[in-house]
Amino acid sequence: MKLLTFAASSSRQSINKHLATYAASLVAKADIDVLDINDFEMPLYSIDRETEFGIPVLAQDFLDRIAQADAIIISFAEHNGSYTAAYKNLFDWASRIEPKVYQNKPMVLLATSPGPGGANTVLTTAASSAPYFAGEVKASLSIPSFYDNFDLVTNKLSNTELNSALTTIVNNLTENKQS
């Protein structure tokens, strides 16, 4: 199984990238493709830019990475209760080429933050909107208080209850894909 994973964050120190990469590592026998959305930085989307300059090739490159995957794990950072500007911009450009951005791929959606909310607001939004963009959401999980529940030395969830929940949902992603 080819598994695409990434953080919907442009931070080079992204805690969501740590979480997404760790979650992908729990999928047995997966060929993991870790995408960095910084590699897809484009001008802010506007219809005027699209009309004048066309759609940047990086938007197609992002869609191609999704197309090559059998399943997707995304971990969302939350900025003021919503998507990061970097992810939203990438998504907006890609959706101008293919409105079904997620291309009917099974997905596990995650989110984390330093605080007790665990970026649950953006995760709820992402999970409810993904089906409109051909995302087959198998499960979602918010990890609150990242630094209290994740060991950055071992790059693993240290909270056994949350780790068990994460392991279960990523294994379900695999089982659902094989059936």
Q: Which of 31, 35, 28, 29 is nearest to 9 (CA)?
A: 35
pLDDT exceeds 70 at position 68 = yes
* Nearest-angstrom CA–CA distance, 59 and 50: 12
- Total number of residues shown for the chain: 179
What residues have CB less than 8 Å from 69, skipping those under 6 apart?
2, 3, 4, 33, 105
Residue-wise pLDDT for 142-178, tens only, equals 999 999 999 999 999 999 999 999 999 998 886 644 4
DSSP-assigned letter for residue 102 = T
Residue 50 is predicted with a pLDDT of 97
pTM: 0.95
Q: Which of 174, 147, 153 is nearest to 23 (CA)?
A: 174
* Nearest-angstrom CA–CA distance, 96 and 14: 27
Q: What are phi and psi of 25, to 5 degrees?
A: -65, -20
* Nearest-angstrom CA–CA distance, 53 and 1: 37
Residue-wise pLDDT for 80-92, tens only, equals 999 999 999 999 9
Residue 175 is predicted with a pLDDT of 66
Residue-wise pLDDT for 115-146, tens only, equals 999 999 999 999 999 999 999 999 999 999 99
